[in-house]
Amino acid sequence: MLYRLIMRLDGVAVIESGVRLRFASLIHLGHNVYLDQSVYLHACPQGIAIGDNSLVMHGSVLHVYNFRDLPHAFIHIGHDSLIGELNVLRGQGGIRLGDRVYTSPLVQILAVNHVYAGPDRPFVEQRITAQGVVIEDDVWLGAGAVITDGVTIGEGAVVAVGAVVTRDVPPHSVVGGIPARVLHDIRPGDAGGRPAEPGKRVYF
């Protein structure tokens, strides 16, 4: 595959059939990265970087569409992370994921937003904001969660299924709802923040 001659590779990477790469010279894959079928990566000058042992699953889109010359447009993913099936990451304001971040299917991380304050003009003429999104180490995003521009999600946090996160999430907390709010904290001794139900087996 010609892509392998253009990208920056830190060792072996597995790239399945149907993967599409735009501006491949600006994509950096760590050792043992896996790109599943139908993944689409669209880079830009600050690029897309995926750390060692991370996986991007079927149909996900990592898109840094920077036609406005934004100063910090990129997507950087740490090591041992998982981007679930059919995720959309829009990195105009910069997306930085830490290590061991897991996103479930259909998650959206959107580091861009439209301004729509003026009723006398269409929103497409009112510019955009692009503050960026930071997701720290050991975060789990439930299926269908939406993370909006300007948000930082603290280390060890859990975002519930279908949550829409519009403000920062404290470390080691569980958030859910629309808009998302803190449901409870994950304390030492908790079984992952949610004790197993009686009779339910726990696997390691």
**Which residues are marked as active site?**
114
Q: Give the whole-angstrom CA distance, residue 176 versus residue 61.
A: 24
- Give the helix ranges, DSSP H, for 60-200: none
**For residue 141, how many other CB atoms are within 10 A of its CB?**
28
Is 174 in contact with 184 (CB distance < 8 Å)?
A: yes
Show the tokens assigned to 201: 């087996």
Burial of 117 (0-12, 13-18, 19+ CB in 10 A): exposed
Nearest CA among 152, 153, 151, 125 for reference residue 139: 153
Q: Give the whole-angstrom CA distance, residue 15 versus residue 38.
A: 10
Q: Give the whole-angstrom CA distance, residue 160 versus residue 57.
A: 20
Supply angle C-alpha 78, 69, 58, rounded to 5.
40
What secondary structure does DSSP assign to 106-125, as a single string?
A: T-EEE--EE----TTS-GGG
